[in-house]
């Protein structure tokens, strides 16, 4: 399918999916207001609904999120989680963290909500660097295991979040890691590792990257943004390559949304023939 | 992204996902041999791996498949299911059913395998029309509920499978329905319902459909195939529209593979504010 073809399929898919609940539309609007140039940080309405369904399908008791921003994906996951479950979500930016905390309190996902005996999962926001928060959290709670992890923070640290979780065996037996932006706007295919492969095969060089840009940017700014985005994509590509060759896990990189990887520990089940 | 762009993303995604286990590659090869012109009926390696992971994530006890063909997706699901679970799979074509049965026996998913105490889920093949098999099965086992359903048989009956399951409340509380080919090669956007919408908005008419075709087809055959494929796509489109407006369910049509819808009963959880 051509560009128009894929855009049409995306539109069709959205039109035939349940629309996002009202409070999420409000939050999307509020993100645009507070962060005009980076409101596209939040996941899409469709991805939000998918996360809610996935939580209902898998019923995780303990969930970890890296990268809360204003709380969109956290609230989407919480809405599908069982009522006695908890979601830890990490955010470095203190302004976004405060806005998210306000939201969680207003909507009743905080401690008080729990004590008042309603049916929502609890969301606990850990402000500060994600890796530091993760270290503090796991030190405070020994034997903590995550049933689901959503990695959506700084791309350069993807590999560190992943390594910390795997090296410390923090994933429960049926636990899984979801990695957002695994295709990073398609720019992963233009990373140095991929260019190498292309050159080896004797194909044409890759076209220049074309990231989403702010309409008001000057040419110099555009160029800087393009370079920065490609750097992020290179981090994600390096991460993808390491996961794909990690013998401890199975991974499926779904070419959906901005690329969503699903990672689990390899199953111990042996298919012994009868 | 252009066509090359999306194809490149797909290739990248495949290259950074766990490859299909050997026995699945063998089965794919065997499908091509037995059904040269319709070997693309089986799901892809990546979708197979995704189904296995999804079963591991959701641990269904009872699974239903409509459309077994030679058993690829059934074996993929079974490999992620718990050891005391059962997968019922329906197939109309008796030759495909026999080949699938042979495979399940050889690999130990049959009754005998179970009795020999190994760890595989059990696969039970129901030969004949899917709707008739479903009626017989649910009559024989009262209170049967499905934790997962995979619909991948004749497109004209999608709506009947769905209605039978929903109207008889056969989905467990955390159960879900997966619907394959929900975008039917992109042709759903050229269905009459979509043309109507396009015309209403005053846009250009849709381009003619361009289904995958056998290289050896004559022009007349090509034309017939195109018409037939569009008819299938129209069935799927009608199905998608009905599900999207069914107040009993939430649905996300994922624009991945050939389109994969995830459907659950609406949650009874009320988000009561504290
Ligand atoms: C893509 S946004 C997350 C969007 C959010 N998951 C959603 O869908 O609404 C990434 C977030 O990660 C945060 N972040 C960046 N570096 C971080 C770090 N070292 N630790 C924790 N959060 C970080 C950013 O401040 C930003 O809010
Ligand atoms: C797309 S193929 C299924 C592929 C399979 N799920 C896989 O991935 O390996 C569809 C199958 O549905 C079967 N089928 C068609 N009509 C049917 C019906 N009324 N009841 C049951 N199966 C039917 C066809 O014979 C065909 O094998």
- Test the A interface: residue of B5, B12, B109 with most A CBs within 10 Å: B12
Out of A136-140, A199-203, B95-99, B179-183, which region has the weakest mean confidence (pLDDT)? A199-203
List A250's β-bridge partners, or say none. A264
CA-CA distance, B210 to B163, in Å (whole number)? 31
CA of A161 vs chain B CAs: smallest distance (Å): 19
User: How does B192-203 read in b/e, with b if 16+ C-beta sit within 10 Å?
Assistant: eebeeebeeeee
Residue B178 pLDDT > 80: yes
The DSSP symbol for B116 reads T
Which residues of chain B make contact with A264, given a CB cutoff of 8 A?
Answer: 53, 56-57
Model confidence over B80-94: pLDDT tens digits?
A: 999 999 999 999 999
- Position A265 scores a pLDDT of 98
Q: Is A60 in the pocket of ligand 1 (CB under 6 A)?
A: no
Q: Residue B12: which residues within 8 A CB-CB, separation 6 or more?
A: A183, A188, A189, A194, A253
| Cβ atoms within 10 Å of B62's Cβ, excluding its own | 19
Long-range pairs for A226-234: beta carbons < 8 A, 24 or more residues apart: A229/A184, A229/A185, A229/A187, A230/A187, A230/A190, A230/A191, A232/A155, A232/A156, A232/A184, A232/A187, A233/A155, A233/A184, A233/A185, A233/A187, A233/A188, A233/A190, A233/A191, A233/A209, A234/A191, A234/A192
How many CB atoms within 10 Å of residue B41?
Answer: 15
Q: Do the Cβ atoms of A97 and A127 come closer than 8 Å?
A: yes
Q: What is the pLDDT of residues B244-271, one digit of tens each?
A: 999 999 999 999 999 999 999 999 765 5
- Closest approach atom of ligand 1 to CA A67: 12
Q: How many A from CA of A78 to the centre of ligand 2? A: 37
Q: Which atom of ligand 2 is nearest to the CA of B41?
A: 1
Q: Which residue in B1, B16, B256 is closest to A186 by CB distance?
A: B1
Instruction: Provide the β-strand partners of residue B62.
Output: B86
The reported pLDDT for the residue numbered A205 is 42
Going from the C-alpha of B253 to that of each of A26, A88, A264, B163, the distances in angstroms are 23, 28, 24, 18
Dist. CA A261–CA A152, nearest whole Å: 11
B123 has a pLDDT exceeding 70: yes
Instruction: Tell me how far apart the alpha carbons of residues B249 and A199 are, in angstroms, rounded to a whole number.
Output: 49
Instruction: Name every chain A residue with its beta carbon within 8 A of the beta carbon of B108.
Output: 271-274
Yes or no, beta carbons of A252 and B79 under 8 Å apart: no
Residue with token string 């999962």:
A121
From the CA of B133, the nearest ligand is: 2
pLDDT at A273 (0 to 100)? 43
Domain ranges across chain B: 3-34+43-180, 187-248
- Between A5, A108, A254, which is nearest B50 by CB? A254
CA nearest neighbour of B187 among B147, B233, B220, B225: B233
Q: What is the mean pLDDT of residues B114-121?
A: 67
Residue A100: per-residue pLDDT = 97
Mutate to test the pocket of ligand 1, among A91, A149, A178 (most ligand atoms within 8 A of CB): A91
Direct distance between the N- and C-terminal alpha carbons of chain A, in angstroms, rounded to an integer: 45
| Nearest-neighbour CA in chain A from B55: distance (Å) | 10
Distance A65 CA to ligand 1 centre (A): 9
Superfamily (CATH) of domain B3-34+43-180: Vaccinia Virus protein VP39 (3.40.50.150)
Q: Which helix (H) or strand (E) holds B263?
A: strand B260-265
Reported confidence tier of residue B1, pLDDT bands at 50, 70, 90: very low
Query: Å from A96 to nearest chain B CA?
Result: 22
Q: How far is the CA of B145 from the centre of ligand 2 (A)?
A: 22
CA distance A215 to B226: 42
User: Does an H or E element contain B219, and which?
Assistant: helix B219-244
pLDDT of residue A5: 84
Instruction: Give the mean pLDDT of B109-133.
Output: 83
Which chain A residues have a beta carbon less than 8 Å from that of B10? 255
Q: What is the mean pLDDT of chain B?
A: 89
Mean pLDDT of B206-230: 73
Is A58 close to B57, i.e. CB distance below 8 A? Answer: yes
Q: Tell me which residues of chain A have a pLDDT lower than 50.
A: 1-3, 202-209, 272-274
Task: Name the helix (H) or strand (E) containing B242.
Answer: helix B219-244
Question: With contact defined as beta carbons under 8 Å apart, do A249 and A169 qualify?
Answer: no
Q: Using the structure block, give the residue that is written with the tokens 């074309």.
A: A210
- pLDDT higher than threshold 90 for residue B208: no
Which atom of ligand 1 is nearest to A31's Cα? 9
Is A56 in contact with B174 (Cβ distance < 8 A)?
A: yes
Quote the minimal CA–CA distance from B12 to chain A in Å: 7
pLDDT of B203 reads 45
- Taking the centre of ligand 2 as the mean of its atom positions, its distance from the CA of residue B19, in whole angstroms, is 25
Longest CA–CA separation in chain B, Å = 68
- Contact by Cβ (8 Å): B215, A96: no
CATH fold of the domain at A3-265: Rossmann fold (3.40.50)
What's the pLDDT at A262?
98
CB contact under 8 A, A16 and B251: yes
Position B119 scores a pLDDT of 79
């Amino acid at each position: 399918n051509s560009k128009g073809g894929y855009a049409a399929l995306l539109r069709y898919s959205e039109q035939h999916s349940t629309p996002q609940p009202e409070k999420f539309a409000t939050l999307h609007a509020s993100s645009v207001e507070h962060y005009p140039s980076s409101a596209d940080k939040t996941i899409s309405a469709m991805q939000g609904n998918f996360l809610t369904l996935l939580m209902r399908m898998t019923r995780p008791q303990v969930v970890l999120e890296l990268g809360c921003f204003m709380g969109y994906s956290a609230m989407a996951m919480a809405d599908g989680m069982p009522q006695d479950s908890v979601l830890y979500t990490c955010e470095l930016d203190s302004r976004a963290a405060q806005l998210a905390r306000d939201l969680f309190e207003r909507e009743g996902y905080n401690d008080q909500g729990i004590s008042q005996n309603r049916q929502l999962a609890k969301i606990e926001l850990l402000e500060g660097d994600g890796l530091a928060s993760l270290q503090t959290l796991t030190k405070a709670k020994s034997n903590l295991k995550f049933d689901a992890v959503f990695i959506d923070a700084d791309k350069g640290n993807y590999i560190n979040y992943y390594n910390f979780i795997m090296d410390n065996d923090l994933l429960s037996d049926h636990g899984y890691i979801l990695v957002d932006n695994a295709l990073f706007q398609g720019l992963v295919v233009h990373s140095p590792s991929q260019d190498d492969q292309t050159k080896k095969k004797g194909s044409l060089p890759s076209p220049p990257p074309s990231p989403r840009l702010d309409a008001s940017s000057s040419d110099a700014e555009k160029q800087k943004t393009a370079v920065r985005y490609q750097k992020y994509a290179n981090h994600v590509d390096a991460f993808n390559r390491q996961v794909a060759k990690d013998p401890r896990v199975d991974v499926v990189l779904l070419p959906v949304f901005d690329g969503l990887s699903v990672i689990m520990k390899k199953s111990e089940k042996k298919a012994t023939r009868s």
